[in-house]
Structure 1
């Protein structure tokens, strides 16, 4: 009986670099991570944090430029995607070292993201 919640601590706003055509991962927002850690520590039930990497940009990519206004035109495509849930990140560290938790989670996501990219590229090469 566990409640599960997925949060994009960078806002989920990764955009392609128009020069390199790569999609860099947006860094986690420290205040967002701190807020969820605080809620977890105040919870009456144990809270667990797992890093999750997801390669899905090409499925429904945003425009390369950000335009003022509401909504963006999106085109859904049939492409391979990848999702990886890593090992639990211990909720340790006080106010002075809170960045260590965020840094560790971000490193885990970056590592898993690169592994997913490589796996997708290898599968595409087999076809």
Structure 2
């Protein structure tokens, strides 16, 4: 799967990874897990990241050496109404930058369309990927479609929340209380999901957008459950299933 991404990039094509988001450490974790087997991807992936990765002093080190395009999350657009227009302009600039990158081809772009970090269920305390925002997924799909370069969209699951979990609630201010720890992490990628096939089956364009977003999220959920069994369930590679095969990147 990941080897296919390298081949596509060498051919000038784009790869877009639709992923869940667990902490500001996600880019560093993904790069570390790929550097031994796929150093090209680890070094050249571009991450669509929230502004906190460059404004929060605790989070900045995780972003060093990574290729970032920063956007303001919908969750924080209205935190300070005086800054709303500025955030809107910056997001427009980032959108244009993404379009430029895709038009150039040979890009691997990671984006988390949930609009924020995953958080545990307040009752069960279990972690799982937050729902994806349909408009965010569709914006990325259309940017890829109109780039004039073949682009492929893959669902990617990330499990690394124990390294630096977010606070239980969404905070407005920078400087939230954080805890950093040593823990196992994992990523998993599934085959490309075609919007054309889903749109053909649905018939209605708006229904197709929702169904496509749900299909991507369902894939991420399935992969996440396998990663959770491997890491928190301590099953290791035995947690693999026919559609999600795990491996140890350092073996």
TM-score by length of 1: 0.87
How many Å separate the matches in 2 of 1:68 and 1:51? 29
Greater share of residues in strand: 2
Is the Cα–Cα contact under 8 Å of residues 144 and 151 in structure 2 kept in the other structure?
yes
2:205 to 75, 89, 95: 95
How is 1:1-127 mapped onto 2 (pairs within 5 angstroms)? Answer: 1=10, 2-92=106-196, 93=199, 95-96=205-206, 97-120=208-231, 121-123=233-235
| Further displaced range: 61-70 or 18-27 | 61-70
Secondary structure of 1:83's aligned partner = strand
Q: Measure how far apart 1:123 and its partner are.
A: 4.2
Q: Which runs of 5+ in 2 are unaligned?
A: 1-9, 11-105, 237-251
Q: Which moved more, 1:59-68 or 1:36-45?
A: 59-68
Aligned length: 124
Listed one character per residue, the Cα deviations across residues 32-69 of structure 1 (whole Å, up to 9, x for unaligned) are: 00101110110111111010001111110112233442
State how far apart, in whole Å, the 2-side matches of 1:17 and 1:90 are: 31
In structure 1, runs of 5+ residues without a counterpart are: none
Say which SS state the counterpart of residue 109 (structure 2) adopts.
coil
Q: Which moved more, 1:65-74 or 1:31-40?
A: 65-74
Q: Runs in 1 of length 4+ with deviation above 6 angstroms?
A: none
Report how far residue 70 of structure 1 moved: 2.2
> So what's the TM-score if we normalise by structure 2?
0.46
Note the aligned Cα RMSD (angstroms). 1.7
